[in-house]
């Protein structure tokens, strides 16, 4: 869904702050007009997968579990096609699975899933107030369901006192070593705490960490409208909403004033152009880091600190040998290294079916740079 960029405008209504000029990013509703082949218990699985591979949709009927069953069969089928042993093979498998699974559809009627034994998903009414009957892909419905549980129940983050309630479509951490690195650095930070910029604020964890350690003001940006909408809703009209100011925009957005601290937790992997539906929270393009460092140079006070949270994941999985931060330090001429802290990540769970042998040598990195 295309989203219109612009500064946030707030309207006070019934003691709540409301966003008026930013559009939520959500799964695009599919009109339920034309006839679609259906899948239920007893349907020929191989034929159904052939329909999907031909680029045609399949509608789940009768029970919600039929959709789960078809997804399992699709994974089994793709596991035979893709050995799924190397990191690159896993990326190819994920790309193909995403493409085919999103052709599996489910019907929504009156903001409810039109199959038996379905979960209740509050996002259907919250995100689609003007459309009550439509189709969505089954993986999108799964994502909406999981997201609703996280949003309703909250998620505990070890470095924060309170739970976060991530809005639909907003990245939130599921591993915490990089946050622990940042937290330990903040404990020892002796510089001024008047202001900071959080580039790509997401669900706000880094900003909340800075608030915990006494920063007076954080300016946060994100290119994902849901991050801005979700944080605005989360903060409401509290004291926090006056300490964290948000802008929907690329990198630094409209923040031009110099600050003593800039933090950035960028994507850790370079994008691969043949991947389907690149996720900007995971993959970075070739312009991201040069543009970031150029903008950071203009906005960092002479004695300020530039903090980047990164990983050696791309190097140890042979996606690329180039490290964008090391490249900036050797070629950019703008910053010098203050310190680089590293922390080994925990081994992959025994429950995972994917081969993640590289986790034994994966490290998260906290780069602290200074002006030259």
List the CATH number of the domain containing 191.
3.40.50.150
pTM as predicted: 0.81
208: number of Cβ within 10 Å: 22
In a domain? residue 13: no
Q: 366 by DSSP, 3-state: which?
A: strand
- Output the six-digit token pair for 325: 């931060």
Cβ(341)–Cβ(181) under 8 Å? Answer: yes
Question: Of all residues in the chain, what percent are helix, strand and coil, respectively (each to 5)?
Answer: 35, 25, 45
- Output the six-digit token pair for 25: 């990013």
Same domain? 85 vs 194: no
Provide the β-strand partners of residue 73.
none
pLDDT attached to residue 279? 52
Same domain? 85 vs 183: no
pLDDT attached to residue 12? 38
Mean of pLDDT values over 17-21: 52
37: containing domain: 21-152
In a domain? residue 8: no
Burial of residue 110 (CB within 10 Å: 0-12, 13-18, 19+) is: exposed
Burial of residue 11 (CB within 10 Å: 0-12, 13-18, 19+) is: exposed
Tell me the pLDDT tens digit for each residue of 98-109: 999 999 999 999
Cβ(180)–Cβ(150) under 8 Å? Answer: no
In a domain? residue 289: yes
pLDDT exceeds cutoff 70 at 239: yes
Q: Of 89, 119, 152, which residue constitutes the final position of a domain?
A: 152
In a domain? residue 127: yes
In a domain? residue 1: no
Q: Of 136, 152, 168, which residue constitutes the final position of a domain?
A: 152
- Output the six-digit token pair for 301: 């006070």
Same domain? 136 vs 187: no
Nearest CA to 307 out of 164, 214, 179 is that of 179
Question: CA-CA distance, 160 to 81, in Å (whole number)?
Answer: 43
- Output the six-digit token pair for 166: 């991530």
Q: 153 by DSSP, 3-state: which?
A: helix
Computed over every residue of the chain, the mean pLDDT equals: 87
Question: CA-CA distance, 59 to 101, in Å (whole number)?
Answer: 11
Mean of pLDDT values over 334-358: 72
Which helix or strand (DSSP H or E) is residue 59 part of? strand 58-60
Same domain? 146 vs 183: no
198: number of Cβ within 10 Å: 26
In a domain? residue 88: yes
In a domain? residue 29: yes
In a domain? residue 197: yes
Question: CA-CA distance, 306 to 369, in Å (whole number)?
Answer: 5
CA atoms within 13 A on the CB side of 212: 17
pLDDT exceeds cutoff 80 at 141: yes
DSSP code of residue 257:
S
pLDDT attached to residue 251? 95
pLDDT attached to residue 86? 74
Same domain? 245 vs 363: yes
Q: What's the number of domains the chain is made of?
A: 2
Contacts of 153 (CB under 8 A, 6+ apart): 163
pLDDT exceeds cutoff 80 at 42: yes
Cβ(21)–Cβ(3) under 8 Å? Answer: no
Q: Of 109, 137, 152, which residue constitutes the final position of a domain?
A: 152
């Amino acid at each position: 869904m295309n989203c219109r960029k612009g500064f946030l405008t707030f309207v006070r209504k019934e003691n709540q702050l409301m966003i008026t000029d930013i559009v939520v990013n959500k799964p695009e509703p599919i009109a339920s007009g034309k006839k679609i082949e259906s899948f239920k218990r007893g349907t020929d699985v191989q034929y159904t997968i052939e329909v999907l591979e031909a680029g045609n949709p399949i509608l789940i009927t009768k029970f919600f579990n039929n959709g789960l069953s078809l997804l399992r069969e699709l994974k089994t089928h793709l596991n035979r096609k893709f050995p799924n042993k190397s990191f690159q093979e896993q990326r190819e498998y994920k790309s193909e699975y995403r493409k085919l699974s999103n052709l599996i559809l489910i019907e929504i009627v009156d903001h409810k899933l039109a199959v038996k034994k379905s979960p209740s998903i509050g996002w259907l009414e919250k995100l689609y107030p003007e459309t009550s009957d439509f189709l969505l892909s089954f993986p999108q419905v799964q994502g909406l369901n999981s997201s609703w549980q996280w949003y309703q129940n909250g998620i505990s983050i070890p470095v924060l006192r309170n739970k976060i309630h991530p809005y639909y479509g907003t990245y939130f951490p599921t591993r915490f070593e990089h946050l622990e690195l940042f937290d330990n650095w903040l404990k020892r930070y002796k510089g001024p705490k008047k202001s900071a910029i959080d580039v790509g604020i997401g669900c706000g964890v880094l900003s909340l960490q800075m608030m915990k350690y006494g920063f007076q003001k954080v300016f946060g940006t994100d290119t994902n409208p849901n991050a801005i909408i979700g944080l605005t809703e989360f903060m409401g009209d509290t004291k926090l909403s006056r300490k964290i100011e948000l802008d929907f925009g690329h990198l630094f957005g409209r923040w031009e004033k110099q600050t003593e601290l800039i933090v950035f937790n960028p994507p850790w992997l370079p994008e691969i152009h043949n991947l389907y539906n690149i996720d900007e929270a995971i993959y970075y393009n070739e312009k991201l880091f040069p543009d970031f460092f150029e903008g950071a140079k203009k906005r960092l006070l002479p004695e300020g600190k530039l903090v980047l949270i990164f990983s050696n994941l791309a190097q140890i999985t042979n996606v690329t040998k180039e490290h964008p931060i090391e490249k900036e330090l050797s070629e950019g001429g703008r910053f010098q290294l203050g310190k680089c802290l590293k922390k080994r990540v925990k081994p992959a769970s025994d429950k995972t079916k994917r081969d993640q042998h590289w986790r034994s040598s994966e490290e998260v990195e906290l780069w602290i740079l200074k002006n030259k």
